Amino acid sequence: MRSSLRSNSNANFLSHMRMFSTANVSAFHYVNSDYVEQEESATPAVKTSSSAVDLQRIKLAATRRETPLSILQCLKLGESVSTKALLKNLAFLNRELPVRFARRILELSGLPNDLRETEPFQNLLRNYSLSFDELQTYSDSNRLMFLDADAQRRGDSELDGDEAMEFAIQKEYADLLQAITNRHKQDVIFMAHGISLFKRYQISRNKPCEEIQRFLNSFNRGRLGIRIMVGHHLALQHQFYHPEEPSSSAYLSMPSSAHSRRVGIIEPQCDIEALILRASQSAQFVFFHHYNTVFPPNVHIEHSKELGGKKVRFPVVPALLHHILFELLKNSLRATAEFHGLEKPSFPDIVVKLSSTSDGALNIVIKDYGGGMPSSKEEKLFNYMFTTASSTVYLDFPSIMTAVEKKPVNATMGENLPLCGFGFGLATSRLYARLFNGDLTIKSIIGNGTEATIRLARLEDQIEQLGDK
């Protein structure tokens, strides 16, 4: 059964394009290998960015275990949100975040010298060290002990005694979290930049490097866990104190779709088709600019029979699913156009099919007719350093940094990023899918096309998976 939802490149596409600012894309241009020369004469790498921070303090914090997040628990917290619940969560973050930052610092410190000493990785190390220091110092200041002691003194667990104090503590902690959020919004660009320098100089192109791969999986997973817990707390606090205001600037938030209810950064009843449509439009927008006004292929959404034409609603963190869909759709659009030839008046549609599984999971299958790929290529797909985008190998990182820096976090849904070239798309998408117990698999038929399947686990199984897989 064909859904009426359709991202159409012909009639509706141009009108949709007006919604986006072309300035987002014009900030980028791809440069030739001159860029590499500039990098060589750049400021020498900072030697030890963590020297200001006591290494023992970091090591001590890193010995504590990370507590895995559960989406169900995050929802429960949000559904009965109160000052007390927010303060309880604040106390949890106050314990948990220094541990998570300390672990990321140790991961960065353990990298091979050639990568760690690059300027972008020194920037990462410096930023993580600074954030750790601020969080640990706050934690050591015993600011929250006052609340605990006060509650104990009153002989109850209610924290309604000193509202002004409670509010001040929430405000100061939220300010700290927001400053940290802003500091880390370029993490992925730093990583991609550092890896591109490393790849250029240290290893032959596209050769898998297990150690770096493991690091990137573990570091990215940890980074995402931090983003989610910080984003959820800030969004819940905003929703509690300012229920009328949309929290579009809160970390990891996406403007919610009409009629959807947002609990922190989670949508318990997310309209999955609306999300697919939105990701399609963002990907088509990037395609349109990349190929210099070539109209992109259409994207069709279909339901499997058992879903019976009903609207598919599923609990997700919309920003995470958007990332995965956006990356997969960009790849499918590019493969379709390059396989059929840009001069073609129209391309075969990309079909997105939704189906439920017997264990309550939701499958989203994206099928393209972009010619597929040989198995030798399929093996490398989830390698962070693998890309076939030859014209964009030397990305203009300084321009990207400037554009990302100027935008508030998530002010756009990725329309200001390049169509391809980082080689990070599939690796990060699978990681994002696996984070809460889902998966991403890719099957390809050479000469025909590619089928990518995103599996979303049912709510009860959406528990954070820690590690480097």
Ligand X SMILES: Nc1ncnc2c1ncn2[C@@H]1O[C@H](COP(=O)(O)OP(=O)(O)O)[C@@H](O)[C@H]1O
Site residues for Mg ion per CB under 5 A: 331, 420, 425
Q: Which does 417 bind (CB under 5 to 8 A by kind): ligand X, Mg ion, none?
A: none
Strands (DSSP E) contained in 220-349 are 267-271, 299-303, 313-316
Q: Token digits for 299?
A: 């994207």
The number of residues that bind ligand X (CB under 6 A) is 20
Q: Is 321 in the site for ligand X (CB under 6 A)?
A: no
Residues 339, 288: contact at Cβ < 8 Å?
Answer: no
Q: Is 234 in the site for ligand X (CB under 6 A)?
A: no
Shortest separation between residue 108's beta carbon and ligand X, angstroms = 23
Q: Which does 450 bind (CB under 5 to 8 A by kind): Mg ion, ligand X, none?
A: ligand X
Chain center to CA of 391: 25
Q: Is 332 in the site for ligand X (CB under 6 A)?
A: yes
Q: Is 364 in the site for ligand X (CB under 6 A)?
A: no
Residue 352 forms beta bridges with which residues?
301, 366
Shortest separation between residue 44's beta carbon and ligand X, angstroms = 29
Q: Which stretch binds ligand X (CB under 6 A): 75-83, 110-118, 214-222, 326-334?
A: 326-334
> By rule CB under 6 A, what string of x and - marks binding of each residue 385-424 to ligand X?
-xxxx------------------------------xxxx-
> Which CB atom, from 236 or from 350, has the smaller least distance to Mg ion?
350
Nearest to 193 by CA among 38, 388, 50, 401: 401
Round to whole Å and give the CA distance between 337 and 341.
6
> Which CB atom, from 139 or from 429, has the smaller least distance to ligand X?
429
Shortest separation between residue 29's beta carbon and ligand X, angstroms = 17
Find all residues with CB under 8 Å of 168, minimum gap 6, and list them: none
Nearest to 195 by CA among 8, 413, 395: 395
Q: Token digits for 429?
A: 């998408």
Shortest separation between residue 420's beta carbon and Mg ion, angstroms = 5
> Which CB atom, from 178 or from 206, has the smaller least distance to ligand X?
206
Shortest separation between residue 30's beta carbon and Mg ion, angstroms = 15
Q: Taking CB under 6 A as the criterion, which residues in 176-215 touch ligand X?
A: none
Residue 367 forms beta bridges with which residues?
351, 451
Helix (H, G, I), strand (E, B) or coil at 451: strand
Q: Is 451 in the site for ligand X (CB under 6 A)?
A: no
Phi, psi of 253 (to 5 degrees): -90, 155
Residue 303 forms beta bridges with which residues?
354
Q: Is 347 in the site for ligand X (CB under 6 A)?
A: no
Quote the crossing angle between the two packed helices 210-241 and 163-183, to the nearest 10°.
150
Residues that bind ligand X (CB under 6 A): 327, 331-332, 335, 368, 370, 373, 381, 386-389, 420-423, 425-427, 450
